[in-house]
Amino acid sequence: METEGVPVEIPPDCNIIIGQSHFIKTAEDLYEAMVNSTPSAKFGIAFCEASGPRLVRVEGNDDELKRVAAENAMRIGAGHTFVVLLRNAFPVNVLRAIKAVPEVCSIFCATANELRVIVAKDGEGRGVIGVIDGKPPMGVENDENVKERREFLRKIGYKR
């Protein structure tokens, strides 16, 4: 078995969610979860079938994000993996709805950081082992960092 770090493209001002699911209707169900969670978001969804015609199924409401999600899904190339790219929303706005989709098994990441998907491959197929999300820590926050973090969360409306 070999492993590979697959770089993922994230367009400017976007976030990405990568997960695993198990059924062909995933793309349509994720579409419904997205529009019902945050109607103003622009998004693209791509889902890799693991059997049958083994196509990347694509949904969304933004052509650029649909295209990039499909390209990322093809690069990852692991069956039952899905990619959601979103703009004008944060993953926290949609993760609960995505996790509630009955066929969703797991979420590997939700980020805007530089991202690589670690894929294992053997003679038969490919599977996601995990992700490398961003860079390693450079230290532990101090009192000033805590203050800045808390102010930022209030500024963007996530805390009162």
N-term to C-term CA, the chain: 49
**What is the Cβ-side half-sphere exposure of residue 113, based on CA atoms within 13 angstroms?**
12
Calculate what percentage of the chain has a pLDDT beyond 90.
Answer: 91
pLDDT of residue 158: 79
Mean pLDDT over each residue of the chain, to the nearest integer: 95
Mean predicted confidence (pLDDT) in 95-105: 97
The amino acid that residue 83 corresponds to is V
Is 160's pLDDT higher than 90? Answer: no
CA-to-CA distance for 52 and 49, rounded, in angstroms?
8
Domain ranges of the chain: 2-155
Q: What pLDDT does 8 receive?
A: 97
CATH superfamily label, 2-155? Ta1353-like (3.40.1520.10)
pLDDT for the residue 156: 82
pLDDT at residue 63 is higher than 90: yes
| Residue-level pLDDT at 112 | 96
- What is the residue type of 142? N
- Residue 68 and residue 126: Cα distance in Å, rounded? 20
Average pLDDT over residues 53-71: 97
Please give the model's pTM, rounded to 2 decimal places. 0.92
pLDDT of residue 99: 97
The structure tokens listed for 26 are 């995933």
pLDDT of residue 117: 98
For residue 39, pLDDT over 90 is answered with no
pLDDT of 124 over the 90 cut: no
Q: Residue 108 above 90 pLDDT?
A: yes
